[in-house]
Amino acid sequence: MASLARRRRGIDFWPGFVDALSSLLMVLVFMLLIFTIGQFVLSDALSGRDRALAQLNAELAQLAKTLSMEQDAKAVAMKQVDELSASLATASGERDALRLSLDTTQAALTQAQARGEEDQAQIARLSSDIRALDELKHQLEAEIAAQLGALDEEREKLAAQTELSAKSAAQVELLNRQVAALRLQLEEIAASLDLARAQGKAKDVRIEELGKELNLALAQRVNELQRYRSDFFGKLREVLGGRSDIQIVGDRFVVPSELLFASGTDELTPVARQQLDSLATTLSEVASEIPSDVDWVLRIDGHTDRRPIATGRFPSNWELSSARAIAIVKYLVTRGVPANRLSANGFGEFRPLDPGDSEAAYAINRRIEIQLTNR
C-alpha cells in the first residue's frame, strides 16, 4: 500500500495539461484564422456589392437622364404633331376652297362655252345675213344703175321730143319716185349692213374675252395637273429608292429597258413586276386626290436603239417597242389601274436621246418613258 501511495504521489499531470492547453490554443488559433478568412471574404463580398450598388445607382441615374431626354423629345414631338395637325387642317381647308373655286370655275367655263357656242351660231347667222345683204346691195345697185341708165335714155328721148304728153310726164314722175324709193331702200340696207357689222365686231370682242377666260381656265387645269404630277413623281421617287439608273427627263420618268425586259422580248422580269406594283400603288394614291373632272392619263412610251430586229414575233423595232408598252399597260390594269387612264405608245428607234453609235448611246436609247399628262 505504501508503494502504491508513493507511485500515485509520483505521477506528474503537468505535461498532459500543457498538451491540452496547446491543443486548445491551436483550436483557438484555427478559429481565429477561420474568422479572419471569413471576415476577409465577407468584406470582399460587401465591397463587391457596394461597387455593384454604385454601378446600379449610376445606371439608374443614366436611365433617369435618358427618360428625361425621352420625355423632352416626346414633348417636342407632340408639339410638332400639333403643328403638323394644324398645318394639315389648314391645307385641307385650302384644298376644299380650291376645289370649290375649281367647281365654280368649271361651271362658269361651261356657261361661257355654251354662250360661246350660241355666239358662234349667232355670228354665223349674222355673217350669212351680211353676205346676203351685200349680195342684195350689189344686186340693187346693179338694178338702180340699169334703171338710171334706162331713165337717162328715157330722159334723152323725152328731151329730144318737142312735145311731152301727160302720159310721158307721169312715166317720168313714176320713174323718179321709183329711183327715190330704190335709193331709200339702198340706204336702209346700208344702215342694216353697218349695224350687222357693228354687232359682229361686238361678238368678236366677246368671243375674244371668252377665249381668254377659256385659256385661263385651261391654264389653271394644267397647273393643277402639274401639281399632281409633281406629287406623283415625288412619291414614285421615294418608292424607287432614288435609283441612279432611273432618271427624270423633263416631265417624264425614263427607265432603262434592261430593268424591265430581257433583250429582244416583251416579257416582264420579276424585278419589273415589283417596280410596277409600286408604281400602281403610288398612282392609285395620287389618282384618289385628282378631281374627277381633270382628264388625266398615264402614258407609257416604248423606245429602242437603232439596231434592227427581225424575228417572227417582232418584224421591226416598231412592234418591239409597242409590245413592251402594251405589256406594261396590261400589267398595270391587273393591279387596279383603270384602263381608260392608260395609253401605250411605241416609237421604235425614231426618238433617240443620244444620236451616237456607241454601246452607251444604244443603252440610253433603249428605254421606257412614263408620263402623267392630260389628254
Residue 207 is part of a domain; what is its CATH number?
A: 1.10.287
Asked whether residue 274 falls in the same domain as residue 352, the answer is yes
Average pLDDT on 153-182 reads 61
Using the predicted structure, report yes or no on whether residue 341 has a pLDDT greater than 70: yes
Q: Is the pLDDT of residue 240 over 60?
A: no
Q: Which domain holds residue 202?
A: 114-226
Query: How far is it, in rounded angstroms, from Cα 62 to Cα 51?
Result: 16
Q: What is the pTM of this model?
A: 0.44
367 and 247 within one domain = yes
pLDDT at position 163:
54
User: Is residue 20 in some structural domain?
Assistant: no
Per-residue pLDDT band at 335 (split at 50, 70, 90): very high
Task: Out of 174, 198, 226, pick the residue that ends a domain.
Answer: 226
Q: Which of 226, 258, 292 is the endpoint of a domain?
A: 226
Among 172, 191, 226, the domain-final residue is 226
Question: Are residues 195 and 258 located together in one domain of the fold?
Answer: no
218 with 247, same domain: the answer is no
What's residue 221's pLDDT? 56
pLDDT at 280 over 70: yes
Q: Name the maximum alpha-carbon separation found in the chain.
A: 234
For residues 247-282, one letter each, b for 16 or more C-beta atoms within 10 angstroms of the residue's C-beta and e for the rest, the string is: eeeeebbbbbbeebbeeeebebeeebeebbebbbeb
Residue 127 lies in a domain: yes
In 3D space, the residue among 321, 332, 120 whose CA is nearest the CA of residue 208 turns out to be: 120
Residue 171 sits in the same domain as residue 252: no
Q: Alpha-carbon dihedral of residues 152, 153, 157, 158, nearest 10 degrees?
A: -30
How many domains is the chain partitioned into structurally? 2
Let me know whether 222 and 306 are in one domain. Answer: no
The confidence band for 350, taking pLDDT boundaries of 50, 70 and 90, is very high
pLDDT at 7: 55
- Report if residue 126 sits inside a domain: yes
Query: Do both 204 and 148 map to the same domain?
Result: yes
Residue 153 confidence (pLDDT) above 80: no
3-state secondary structure of 165: coil
Residues 311-321 have pLDDT tens digits of 889 999 999 99
Residue 346 has phi, psi (to 5 degrees) of -120, 130
Task: Provide the pLDDT for residue 30.
Answer: 87
